Chains A and B, each alone.
Chain A
């Protein structure tokens, strides 16, 4: 919020990294990631927030409220199945900001390693800064469980 103007350049930035170890193959993990960020997205227990993800370069990642209404979070900046998906956009932030999100997947012993990074620049509200990290962790944990359940179900 502009009223809560920051005074240091560091306050304009956000940098979150996370490594997620998934006991599932690369292709299953990537597929599950797209599902989790898309139709299976949720923000808490019993709090679904289904999103649409157009999984191609420039595709939209958005909340479809029907009848042409909704919230656009980001565009796909890069996609290389099944090793990379990257986004840029404002995400949930209704103020001047730009984000870059990266999921880089690679094989590791026993499954898949996802290296996640969210960097942002702008007038980032303090409550958003604090909440975003927990939000991503929650999403990633759901995604990991879902991918591993798929393998167990085979």
Chain B
């Protein structure tokens, strides 16, 4: 996409995805599973491993380590309050001018944990990426749920 094909409306520059994930596992287990799922246990949609590193502290990096100093930086940790909040800002996998905010807010609910997920972005975002995000996040979030519930049953 080039700037010449940039959207004319502000709405076309934005992404806004929300999802609520109900996890049958305690808060701390769910938070731990989340960090694992978006970190070393990250997979692509075909279940192919795509391990990431999350430096779980303010300003820490969320990145793909390709070794020997190579890799892809997705975001920095904007806020972290274990085990109730994890927030990122950064370009994610988008190689064009864009700013994203990704939030995971966890709270206890009857029988487990509710994760409120929110991804907002603004920038020159191609339509195919917009469509792909929703699917991609749902996939990751479903795996987080599975991982947390499997831990609980161990």
Contact = CB atoms under 8 A, between A and B. Distances in A.
A144 interface: no
Contact of B99 (A8, A69, A72, A96): A96
A89 B79 contact: no
B122 interface: yes
Interface residues of B, number: 26
Q: Main secondary structure on chain B at its contact with chain A?
A: strand
A78 interface: no
Interface string A75-118: 10000000000000110001111100000000000000000000
Contact of B58 (A5, A7, A62, A94): A62
Interface in B68-84: 76-82
A60 interface: yes
B10 A72 contact: no
Given A62-B58, A63-B58, A122-B122, A70 B14 contact: no
Give the size range of A's interface with the partner.
20 to 34
B78 A71 contact: yes
B58 A60 contact: yes
B83 to A, nearest CB: 10
A63 B79 CA distance: 9
Contacts of B87: 94
B109 to A, nearest CB: 22
Nearest to B98: A96
A70 B99 contact: no
Contacts of A97: 99, 101, 122
A58 to B, nearest CB: 10
16 contacts: A2-B16, A5-B14, A9-B10, A12-B10, A69-B58, A69-B80, A69-B82, A70-B57, A70-B80, A72-B76, A72-B78, A89-B89, A96-B14, A96-B98, A96-B121, A96-B123
Interface of A: 2, 5-9, 12, 60, 62-65, 67-72, 75, 89-90, 94-98, 121-123
